[in-house]
Structure 1
């Protein structure tokens, strides 16, 4: 299991939002490339990038920044989400050195697109499921649908999806702890590896996630930036035998 640092990009800067609200952001760095290097120095084995502007615009906005990070970290697996709505965008990111692309809103609106992407880019597609009270949210979390997160994940179990990034948007950026119950439930029932996201605050959250079958990793943002979670300590904990 991996601890995966999040680098959320807004207007060229590294920020964190609260519950996905673009107007409620905290800027942690104006140099995302240096931020990526910092987390690598702290032991990160994968990075999670989000193009926040892209998520709302429906098209990537931070391609140059992402390319600069992949160029600086050529050996590091990097996953990117936000505004990925076309096969051309996926191809561009993979050509730029990104390892995985995360399809979110488009997965809800057009599930066949995910299947098509998996066929064309086998092994590189992650589905991002953002949910509130177990229901899927889309368009940068602006719209909550009536689709259950578990049902959506099951839809892609045999499509060739690499994993699911599951974010509890009620907890994201709020430092209130990860939603263990919903995350474990999804991992046990969807048939795909799950990466937990939203509310990972301290080592206790990491301990609670550790050892559950089907959980591949945990994304953390605000906690490692503000110091309530030490990235290196968390990864050491996960590397220890159960």
Structure 2
């Protein structure tokens, strides 16, 4: 399992939100590239970028910062989500050096886009499923659908999706721990590898994810915890590496 630091971009700055509320943002840095360097120097194996403005606008807004990070750390696997609604946007990010693009809202509202993207850009598509009480949320979490996240995951099982980033909205940015039962349920619902997101607070959360022992859980995204110092990124990754030896 890998620990993936998150860089959430709002108005060109690195921020963290609580439960996806744009009005409840904490600015951690005005220099996203410098922030990325902190996590790269700590030994991260992948970066998770989110264009928060883009998620609400339905198109890339902070793509300049994303391109700058990808250029500065060429060769580092990077995944980007937020405002990805068409094949052109996916192609532009991949051309910029990003390894994976995350289709979130569009995966719910236009599932055929996921199928087309997987055919066109094989191995470079991640689906982002954000849920509140198990129900899929869209539009930067502003809307909650009637569709269960696990059912949607099953739909994409044979499309060639690289992984699913599964976020429990109620836990995101709240420092309350990972929803492990829901994450395991997602991993069991589909053969697609799952990346846990939302609530990773300390080393105990990483230990509990590892203890769950589900081979379908390939990683965990962490944001506020590494920015506020309740989780040491390098230590967490060492723990994961030791568990797989």
User: Quick check: TM above 0.5?
Assistant: yes
Distance in 1, matches of 2:128 and 2:118, equals: 14
Compute the TM-score of the two structures, normalised by the length of structure 2: 0.98
Q: Which residue matches 1:223?
A: 225
| Residues 15 and 28, structure 2, Cα contact 8 Å, conserved in 1 | yes
SS at match of 1:166: strand
Q: Which residue matches 2:12?
A: 12
Moved beyond 2 Å, runs of 4+: none
The alignment's C-alpha RMSD in Å is 0.6
Distance in 1, matches of 2:146 and 2:243, equals: 40
Q: Which residue matches 1:232?
A: 234
CA offset digits 1:213-238 (Å, max 9, x no partner): 20010000000000000000000000
Distance in 1, matches of 2:243 and 2:100, equals: 28
1:62 partnered with 2:67: no
Q: Which residue matches 1:35?
A: 35
Structure 1 residues 1-242: aligned runs within 5 Å? 1-210=1-210, 211-241=213-243
Superposition deviation, residue 117 in structure 1:
0.3
Aligned residues: 242
| Residues 107 and 127, structure 1, Cα contact 8 Å, conserved in 2 | yes
SS at match of 1:240: helix
Superposition deviation, residue 241 in structure 1:
3.1
| Residues 101 and 124, structure 2, Cα contact 8 Å, conserved in 1 | yes
Distance in 1, matches of 2:239 and 2:216, equals: 18
SS at match of 2:173: coil
Distance in 2, matches of 1:117 and 1:207, equals: 35
Q: Which runs of 5+ in 2 are unaligned?
A: none
Q: Which runs of 5+ in 1 are unaligned?
A: none
Distance in 2, matches of 1:63 and 1:8, equals: 12
